[in-house]
Chain A
């Protein structure tokens, strides 16, 4: 089988999520890559070095700078003439473009796969991860998004793909990029952090969230996450949200601080290797999944913990 993987990149760097998607694709067959963007020669060269890379198709054009789904989907559809499966990461980028490709190819997308069980059979979470479905696709071509935490990352080195120019097409003229507010952080990205410290509604305010969570995260070299309640209340920006509808994370250690453990939150973090919970309510559902729990007031515990580390 010949697969095509969409390479996600930002500021010239290929995202870790893409490396996991390459691993999923390699379980299906040969892996070609697509790099779309503007002035992306160096990204294409880096993509060709990914272990297992075949042909790296490069669609380079000024109108592709922000990789709008309206403009990228037709490029993928054209390349699917000689590929059997298209795979993208289940990130906001992948989720935006892949269903558009699927509809244009008249196939049903298989979202957020956890494993490849055969060339047409996959597992995927449904109901916020409370059930795992094994599904078989009857479509001739497959369109798949891949959960990054479920697959090992392919190596960034060792590949010897060949770079090939693809038709970049033209702007659809129907959508345009206006601007972005990119959160800047020196901390590790949530989806690849080894340790995550997450805060919930109990933090009470943005000031307290940052005054308590940030120093602890700094001590542990951790990424910072949040529950939906904390994000909705404005304690943390939207891209911190962990859960069914936020980011899916699986660090070595996840610290849930003042988070109750609603199923929608658990959906995003329960595959973490070790879960540590701090909560004043010993009945909080988070303790049902926590490996280590400490019952008490986070406003006392967290400063003491940060200090003692």
Chain B
């Protein structure tokens, strides 16, 4: 089966985001950008499925600015076969991303689409579920284990009370959680090879999708800062603090 993987270019997870003084957003000028960590896990899972013989081709897709090409090249260097960039300089909300991905799914007919559970910039945690709804497909969200047998996909999900396993009759949507796998680093030869892998560029209009935002951001502020507290010098002082807080007798 063919696999589709959605990868988003986001602020690198090691960078501490800074809110702009004018409250208009987070300052991304000269900030290191990387592939969303959950999407690296998605790419890795796709590659492992291909290595196991459960998949034949991996197509990586990104919706974003021209620079998102770099993110797609990373996916290609890891092991994806080809890439599609749906280029737009606008910020595209999860609903519109899901609609564009649906357009690509209609064209490519994959048996499985793997997305991250959450983009670490908007922290929406929506796109995969929305895509599943638009396609009328089943979903296995927050996956920590994925098994493919024919068109069936069995997914172990990380849920608040522990783990849950569901069986999906493919085609299906999977969103990744952190413990699904540990993504590989692309080797230098593979980075070189990725440069000649096919990367097609499209626009949201090609899929008839209007990317006008439904949510208007009125302002973006820093959260209230916590004051650093005091250091105590001994366990006895700590016990006294706990008593004062009323949590110890």
Q: Which residues of A contact B (CB under 8 A)?
A: 10, 66, 68-70, 73, 91-93, 95-104, 106-112, 121, 125-139, 172-183, 191, 194-195, 219-220, 228, 231-232, 237-239, 244-245, 247, 252-253, 263-264, 270, 274-276, 282, 287-295, 301, 304-305, 308-309
Contact = CB atoms under 8 A, between A and B. Distances in A.
13 contacts: A93-B159, A98-B126, A99-B129, A99-B133, A100-B130, A100-B132, A127-B17, A127-B120, A137-B214, A173-B169, A175-B138, A239-B158, A309-B249
Given A104-B133, A309-B239, A127 B123 contact: yes
Interface string B195-233: 000000000000000000111111111110010111111
B43 to A, nearest CB: 18
Contacts of A294: 231-235, 237-238
Contacts of B231: 282, 287, 292-295
Contacts of B236: 308
Interface stretch (B65-73, B82-90, B139-147): B139-147
A191 B159 CA distance: 13
Interface of B: 11, 13, 16-17, 19, 25-26, 93-95, 98, 117-118, 120-134, 137-142, 144, 154, 157-169, 172, 177-179, 213-223, 226, 228-239, 241-242, 245, 247-249
Given A111-B126, A137-B215, A308-B235, A96 B141 contact: yes
Nearest to B212: A138
Lowest 8 CB-CB distances: which A-B pairs, in order? A291-B229, A99-B129, A108-B214, A103-B130, A99-B126, A103-B133, A175-B138, A174-B138
A274 B179 contact: no
A99 B11 contact: no
Contact of B215 (A104, A108, A289, A291): A108
B95 A95 contact: no
Contacts of B217: 133-135
A108 B93 contact: yes
Q: Which of B11, B129, B236 counts the most A-chain CB atoms under 10 A from its CB? A: B129
